Chains A and B, each alone.
Chain A
Amino acid sequence: GAGVSQTPSNKVTEKGKYVELRCDPISGHTALYWYRQSLGQGPEFLIYFQGTGAADDSGLPNDRFFAVRPEGSVSTLKIQRTERGDSAVYLCASSAQGGTVTDTQYFGPGTRLTVL
């Protein structure tokens, strides 16, 4: 596809459930990022992948959050034992390289997660 895609666009779940959010980056982009955007706030960094490896996961709020990118393309953000405070829009972005000063991140439309 031409841009970054994310599925599902909306996800409603109950407190305590497990959810997976998927990101398909732009083809050929080696760098992939996850952000979380709470209502009325700017996005906050969660994790950065360079290829298959998580180069920086310092933004993950706790050990209930985990992300993988096994083949260096599609990534899945996994949230265990969801809490109401996890409700937010989860944005994925990709960039061509990740390691240059002017590298541009292209964002997907996001997945809106609602935890009841």
Chain B
Amino acid sequence: KNQVEQSPQSLIILEGKNCTLQCNYTVSPFSNLRWYKQDTGRGPVSLTIMTFSENTKSNGRYTATLDADTKQSSLHITASQLSDSASYICVVSAWGGFQKLVFGTGTRLLVSP
């Protein structure tokens, strides 16, 4: 069964600090891996996308890594801001003629002043 697991479930950090979120997956056939940010009451918004051959991808203060051999990914947030408070969801796409997204349960991040 295709699965995506994330850790930690929740995280509290002080504004300005860095943090790293983890994702492990078993999805086949693998197409790509994305990190989404979901604010409360809103739909998810894509932050980064990586295909099989990509090891790292940055988007501003967000840097994602992918190890396709161990099927692990991480999302590093640098110099956190209050607006970073949200759920961060690791989403792995299984290719079946279209992007069939398999979502993790997310990490709920709270950035405290």
Q: Establish whether residues B49 and A104, one from each chain, have CB atoms under 8 Å apart when the complex forms.
A: yes
Interface residues of B (CB under 8 A from A): 4, 31-32, 41-46, 49, 51, 89, 91, 95-106
Answer whether A99 and B97 are a contact pair too, CB < 8 Å, given A41-B105, A43-B103, A104-B49.
Answer: yes
A44's closest neighbor in chain B, by CB? Answer: B103
* Alpha-carbon gap, A44 to B4, bound state (A): 12
The number of chain A residues touching the other chain, given as a range, is 20 to 34
Q: Establish whether residues B98 and A48, one from each chain, have CB atoms under 8 Å apart when the complex forms.
A: yes
Query: Which residues from B are CB-within-8-Å of A40?
Result: 105
Q: Establish whether residues B32 and A102, one from each chain, have CB atoms under 8 Å apart when the complex forms.
A: yes
How many residue-residue contacts, CB under 8 A, span A and B?
A: 64
Q: Establish whether residues B32 and A101, one from each chain, have CB atoms under 8 Å apart when the complex forms.
A: yes
Closest approach, in angstroms, between the C-beta of A38 and any C-beta of chain B?
Answer: 10
Q: Establish whether residues B49 and A45, one from each chain, have CB atoms under 8 Å apart when the complex forms.
A: no
Interface residues of A in 76-116 (CB under 8 A from B): 91, 93, 95, 98-99, 101-110
Interface residues of A (CB under 8 A from B): 4, 31, 33, 35, 40-45, 48, 50, 55-56, 91, 93, 95, 98-99, 101-110
* Alpha-carbon gap, A91 to B41, bound state (A): 11
Q: Establish whether residues B95 and A101, one from each chain, have CB atoms under 8 Å apart when the complex forms.
A: yes
Q: Establish whether residues A107 and B32, one from each chain, have CB atoms under 8 Å apart when the complex forms.
A: no
